[in-house]
Structure 1
Amino acid sequence: MDPMESIKATFFLECEELLGDLEAGLMALENGEGDDETVNAIFRAVHSVKGGAGAFGLDDLVRFAHVFETALDRMRSGQIAAAGDAVKLMLRAADVLADLVQTARDGGPGVEQQRSMAIAAELEALSEGRDPAPANADGELAIDTVPDDAGIDGLDFTPQTVSLDLPADLEAAAPAPVGWRIRFRPNTDLYAKANDAAFLLRELEGLGECQVTPDLSGLPAFDDLDPEVSHLAWEIELSGECSEAAIREVFEFAEGDCELEIAQLDHHAGSAALPPGPDPAGPEISLSDANAELMAELPGPVAAPVASDKPAKPQAQPASATAPAQATIRVELDRVDRLIDLVGELVINQAMLAQRASESDLGRSNGVSMALDDLEQLTREIQDSCMAIRAQPVKSVFQRMPRLLREIAAMTGKQVRLVTEGEGTEVDKTVIERLTEPLTHMVRNAVDHGLETPGERKGAGKPEEGTVRLSAVHRSGRIVIEVADDGRGINRERVRQKAVDRGLIDASAALSDEEVDNLIFHPGFSTADQVSDISGRGVGMDVVKRSIQALGGRISISSRPGEGSVFTLSLPLTLAVLDGMVVTCAGETLVAPLTAIVETLKPRPEDLEKFGPQGRLLKVRDTYVPLIDVGVRLGWRTSGTDPAQCVVLLVETESGGRAALLVDAIQGQRQVVIKSLEANYQRVDGVAAATILGDGRVALILDIDAVISSRRAPPPTGQASLAKAS
């Protein structure tokens, strides 16, 4: 594999992180939560993308990033307010930058040139303090003030002509200087940070003709030479009409790691006002002649990925900036997946060994049993550590939503603000990867169907800007994600009528509000009158429900007319292992997730009460909870058994309610490996997944909330009989 391709792949991985930081910083500014350091972080992100792109010759990306960077530089110097329309423009520019990165990485059709040019022109206008060029009747950008020979398609993105943040005394200088004299002495730290002085010298050549003279006065004798110490310095005469700011930009990332002096050459005598230095001990070197061979061996123009603050504009650093960065490594995901699979097999084999030891009637004091206990503890620690490796915050998914909202808001003419909560909530990477599509559908529907137009909201006494809220939280061993809006809510009459028109329900059917709301999950259901790029094709929410169910999760709706709707997703934290209680019911072995169990108890006859024709309630400390016979619910027996001969699992649902599950007996508690039942067999109502026990048998893992929520439904005998047969 080409080493440069490997480095390039690493650059694009870093771009994803940088673009995420860029989006987060701009959103903080838009919400009024940013400060000077936020602007600096945004600038550094764009500067880093530009620097890496320059190393690989990604010219389109470099040009646009430079224009973007220039505007951000003026923002951090206080010449542009970090609020209002300026931030909105920066957000659109961030979208274009992300598209350019994707195009450079994946190839294929590039970013629409007209769009890129329009945003670049607006950024230039913002940097120069003038109004953006207006669009003509055909929607194309009118750029009449730019000369025809200014560069690419009428725009010049080159560093020499783009407006820079110049000090006032330089901008006021009357005649343009004919050249500069630069004294450059790198410190040892510059090389320790994997930088190279030759790159900086070549960057200077891009500003004009350079004559470089090495200063060898600090070079020791060969025997005293220390390869880790910087000994060389250079004096450079730079000819051409460039500014001091442009020169300092070349050395910007290295200013703290070198000695740098810049003086303007005399217009007439060609001398500079630099203080006298040591006499150079080596000949003059021209970068275009004698040093051309050395420069040709370097891999393309390089700009540094980290920008330091300029001395003229010191910025206060937060306390956290001085803290040492935590060391990380990049590992291929396939290796991590393989490790997780091996840990799963280790858990199964440990359970089998424990089962064999138990069947052999070995005493608890036996050395083998004690070693097996230690093995169980060690296995659990290994499993927890491996799960932590795969755990990722949902921030990576949430960060994709602001751009989606901006695009949909522009298409629908609505004003939308996104609020996110719990971005640091961690979940297994497999769950993260499969969350993007469902959340995209739900956010799109929240804006298109949920939120009203500005005029409708104003008429209803609401702010013209609607709000969509994304939140994530850990609850009962699962992750709960909510997508909420403050729009009109679900029009249940309209939903019901559409369902009747499509033959989904009978016109005389009596449905609760919850049942009407759940009609939107029916395949092919849509309330849109017209087909558009956003909705109306009858696909979306049914896809969401299937995707969530495939992850072992559930989705529910809560809606209030005129106030908005809340869609709640409940998903397992991991798809690999869980702690469970092994129970028996109707001769079958089941596993109940331990996180849902509050306590276990033996019911007393005096604590039982009838409820309705078939229902029963159990009294638990002056509170009645519904009693559900798991065997009847799964269709394994037609009539209930005597509760006095059974055991009750008091469980808590994700909504906070409680219920009592009736099972025959408890076998014990153990850690089990989750195996997808749907992928290997078919979906079974009331069952979340399957596992392999220590004796090699397959056991079903209960879906606690599904068993409780459908307790009034008739037993699914056909499906359950298949489950029992498995």
Structure 2
Amino acid sequence: MRDVFFEECEDLIAALTEGLTAMRDGRTDSETVNAVFRAVHSVKGAAGAFALDDLVGFAHTFETVLDHVRSQRLALDDRILHVLQRSGDVLADLIDTAREDLPTNQAQVDPVMADLQSFLGDAPADAEDFVFEALTLAFDAPDDATSTYVVTFAPSAAFYTSGNDPVLIIAALQALGPTRVSVDTSRLPTSLEELHWQDGLLSWRVEIDGLGSDLPILEVFEFVDDLCALQVSLRSADTDIPDPPQAGTTAAATADDVVDTPSVDPQPDTGDQKARSAQDRGGSRAATSLRVDPERIDRLINAVGELIINQSVISQRLQQANLPNAAELFADLDDYKLLAREIQEGVMAIRAQPVKPLFQRMLRIAREAADATGKLVELITEGDATEVDKTVVERLADPLTHMIRNAIDHGIEPPDNRAAAGKNRQGKLRLAARQRSGSIVIEIADDGAGLNRPKIREIAVSKGLVAEDAQLSETEIDHLLFAPGFSTAKEVTNLSGRGVGMDVVKTAITALGGRVAITSQFGQGTTFSITLPLTLAVMDGMIINLGGQTMVVPISSILETVRPKAADLSQIGLNNTLLRIRGEYVPIIDLAERMGQSATPREMTDRVLLLIQTDSVPQCALAVDDIFDQRQVVVKSMQGNYGEISGISGATILGDGKIALIIDPEAVAQGNTAYAATNSQNGRDVSYVAAC
């Protein structure tokens, strides 16, 4: 049960972060505020069952402030929104601390708790504040302290149409201790013709003795708290208990002694509205999710990989058997291929998850970095619904953390410097994700000062990373940011200065089979682009012959295949050949030569050109000897055994059991020296992009 609680807390924290982000963006409607309140309230209620006192105490104060906000006793401003976001961070940390059974970091919790309590002190005081104080005292009282609680609840129409029964609720309350129950029938009509059972005309008042806190009561209403107007109040000798709430009134309309749920719709449902409400609630309750151990998914993915390899083996054996093309075996093999692809796509969909949780974590990283540096930064997220393999998402956390901190620490200027440069005092940092040609592209863009390339070169020379007389292009200077030990920080801080950040980024991204590119304009900002495969397991590839070696080129990079004619070919310089296609000149890369093989004696007109497109090069053509087939291949990493190999992204096992290397088109295109001359001939002004 404890494990389930912490798993559910992950979903609640995600909902909390999403709601707080929406509030920061100006969406402060009651539905958004209530969603945030529900998340905190649910964490508090469930944490009480496991005696997580620190977590419960903080969440109690947090939800009380939120209750003041939703009842409009506190007006939202920038300070409150900032404290609420910090409170969400602390709540997430307290959950992690409780999960690991670690002591609470009071130095982190106490300042935020003090900020929350300051808002309660600023709230308008009235008689009901004494009820809240009594409730707080009871909450912090010893376990042997008991009190009488008064529960008043008025079910709404949706309470009945979704199959709930007040008798069961009252029976559950009676199980908590000695009770006294009364019912309010004042809203009943005078004639049977006017009576409709589903209208929710009755309300109940239940007094319960001998309780130490309100948590057991809230647990009874856990699954119906949004279907009724509910009040839970502590009874004392000098405190009047409010009248029972009327059905359809909002819980938020009460004062601090209401430790309950968001409001129900004040307008009664009629006709089709009732049917839709019942249908929506019934559908949401019927919808379930299945939690599966990730190791089981990994084993299933491995099995799918073996299935695809087995399919390749069968296909190879049938070709070697020289059977006629009309043989039924080939039709069965095609069915097998379709089935294997369907299974593979289904398994990949199970592992796929949106990058939204990752982006939400980065919101906190940005806030902490901005506070640490004294800068004003707004983090804007785009494309957080983009889905990618779960493993990729998990392993992206550290690289993105380094890059977010680096952008705020080094990229975005202090507010006064921005104002002097004619910019808004608050900097903007954009974190965006999108899918493109079988890959996911994540961009971290700031509107800061941009890269100071002369300074970068000077630091690299002083650290011995490059020779003092080295002639470096802008691309090569940008590339120095990823050199081990490079740092532009003048002193070591919690954020930077140790020279390991960007080197870690490069290593982590390369290990995922990805690339990092930089574009920057001095004084305007810098953009880092990370390109990663959508999945680390299976890809569509084109099987090619390269100097007698079988290799694979990812289909996602190939635009088209061309069998060139002599009239389509032109020479530039001594050894560079261009392909003229649709009025443009495209550089041709001899892939065999690029891979270190001896030059092939075959003429270019006897070979096949693969027209590809990469992040850094709009178009180029790879010259190969032959194309054998197009099929799915299982990607195997070579990083662990052989390290980084230029031009190779991995390997796969073919149907005959042989190993074929997988070409990295981006790395191959990066090594082409004819690209600049080609684009000069095309009349383009193209700047290189630093990539690794």
The verdict on a shared fold, with TM-score over 0.5 as the criterion, is: yes
Give the residue type in structure 2 aligned to 1:47: H
Report whether the alignment pairs 1:110 with 2:104: yes
Paired position in structure 2 for 1:476: 437
Q: Could you tell me which of 584, 593, 601 is aligned with 1:632?
A: 593
Within-5 A mapping of 1:183-222: 200-201=173-174, 210-212=178-180
The 3 A distance-change label for structure 1 pair 442 and 646 is same
Root-mean-square deviation (CA, aligned residues, Å) is: 4.1
Paired position in structure 1 for 2:253: none
Paired position in structure 2 for 1:375: 336
Paired position in structure 1 for 2:116: 123
Per-residue Cα deviation, 1:120-173 (whole angstroms, up to 9, x for no partner): 232233134259xxxxxxxxxxxxxxxxxx99xxx9575489xxxxxxxxxxxx
Q: Could you tell me which of 52, 67, 75 is aligned with 2:61?
A: 67
Paired position in structure 1 for 2:424: 463
Paired position in structure 1 for 2:484: 523
Where 2:632 maps in the other structure, the secondary structure is strand
Report whether the alignment pairs 1:401 with 2:362: yes
Please say if residues 54 and 104 of structure 2, whose CA atoms lie closer than 8 Å, have aligned partners that are also in contact.
no
**Which stretches of structure 1, 4 residues or longer, exceed 3 Å deviation after superposition?**
155-161, 177-203, 210-215, 233-244, 246-268, 270-274, 305-308, 310-323, 638-641
Report whether the alignment pairs 1:41 with 2:2: no
Identity %: 45
The 3 A distance-change label for structure 1 pair 442 and 214 is same
Please say if residues 580 and 591 of structure 1, whose CA atoms lie closer than 8 Å, have aligned partners that are also in contact.
yes
Question: Structure 1 CA distance, aligned partners of 2:491 and 2:268?
Answer: 56
The 3 A distance-change label for structure 1 pair 688 and 313 is same
Give the residue type in structure 1 aligned to 2:117: E
Question: Structure 2 CA distance, aligned partners of 1:686 and 1:261?
Answer: 67
The 3 A distance-change label for structure 1 pair 704 and 184 is closer
Compute the displacement of 1:589 (Å): 0.6
Where 2:283 maps in the other structure, the secondary structure is coil
Give the residue type in structure 2 aligned to 1:473: R
Per-residue Cα deviation, 1:52-107 (whole angstroms, up to 9, x for no partner): 11121211111111111111111112222234211111011111111111111112
The 3 A distance-change label for structure 1 pair 214 and 652 is same
Report whether the alignment pairs 1:385 with 2:353: no
Residues matched between the structures, number: 618
Question: Structure 2 CA distance, aligned partners of 1:373 and 1:241?
Answer: 69
Where 2:90 maps in the other structure, the secondary structure is helix
Greater mean alpha carbon deviation, residues 633-642 or residues 652-661: 633-642
Please say if residues 253 and 307 of structure 1, whose CA atoms lie closer than 8 Å, have aligned partners that are also in contact.
no
Where 1:434 maps in the other structure, the secondary structure is helix
Question: Structure 2 CA distance, aligned partners of 1:420 and 1:509?
Answer: 40
The 3 A distance-change label for structure 1 pair 260 and 109 is closer
The 3 A distance-change label for structure 1 pair 641 and 64 is same
Compute the displacement of 1:615 (Å): 1.4
Question: Structure 2 CA distance, aligned partners of 1:509 and 1:659?
Answer: 29
Give the residue type in structure 1 aligned to 2:542: M
The 3 A distance-change label for structure 1 pair 51 and 200 is farther
* Structure 1 segments unaligned to the other structure (5+ residues): 1-6, 132-149, 162-176, 216-232, 275-304, 714-726
Give the residue type in structure 1 aligned to 2:507: R
Where 1:324 maps in the other structure, the secondary structure is helix
Where 2:536 maps in the other structure, the secondary structure is coil
Compute the displacement of 1:659 (Å): 0.8
Within-5 A mapping of 1:70-219: 70-112=64-106, 114-129=107-122, 158-159=138-139, 200-201=173-174, 210-212=178-180
Paired position in structure 2 for 1:171: none
Paired position in structure 1 for 2:385: 424
Question: Structure 2 CA distance, aligned partners of 1:694 and 1:178?
Answer: 75
Please say if residues 187 and 259 of structure 1, whose CA atoms lie closer than 8 Å, have aligned partners that are also in contact.
no
Paired position in structure 1 for 2:22: 28
Within-5 A mapping of 1:349-360: 349-360=310-321
Give the residue type in structure 2 aligned to 1:328: S
Paired position in structure 1 for 2:193: none
Paired position in structure 2 for 1:362: 323
Per-residue Cα deviation, 1:21-77 (whole angstroms, up to 9, x for no partner): 111211111122442211111011101111111121211111111111111111112
The 3 A distance-change label for structure 1 pair 200 and 712 is farther
Question: Structure 1 CA distance, aligned partners of 2:47 and 2:648?
Answer: 50
Compute the displacement of 1:411 (Å): 1.1
Report whether the alignment pairs 1:324 with 2:283: yes
Compute the displacement of 1:653 (Å): 1.4
Compute the displacement of 1:198 (Å): 6.0
Greater mean alpha carbon deviation, residues 256-265 or residues 472-481: 256-265
Compute the displacement of 1:613 (Å): 2.7
Please say if residues 34 and 262 of structure 2, whose CA atoms lie closer than 8 Å, have aligned partners that are also in contact.
no
Question: Structure 2 CA distance, aligned partners of 1:91 and 1:267?
Answer: 38
Compute the displacement of 1:252 (Å): 7.9
Compute the displacement of 1:572 (Å): 0.5
Where 2:7 maps in the other structure, the secondary structure is helix
Question: Structure 1 CA distance, aligned partners of 2:505 and 2:213?
Answer: 56
Compute the displacement of 1:118 (Å): 3.0
The 3 A distance-change label for structure 1 pair 160 and 538 is closer
The 3 A distance-change label for structure 1 pair 412 and 442 is same
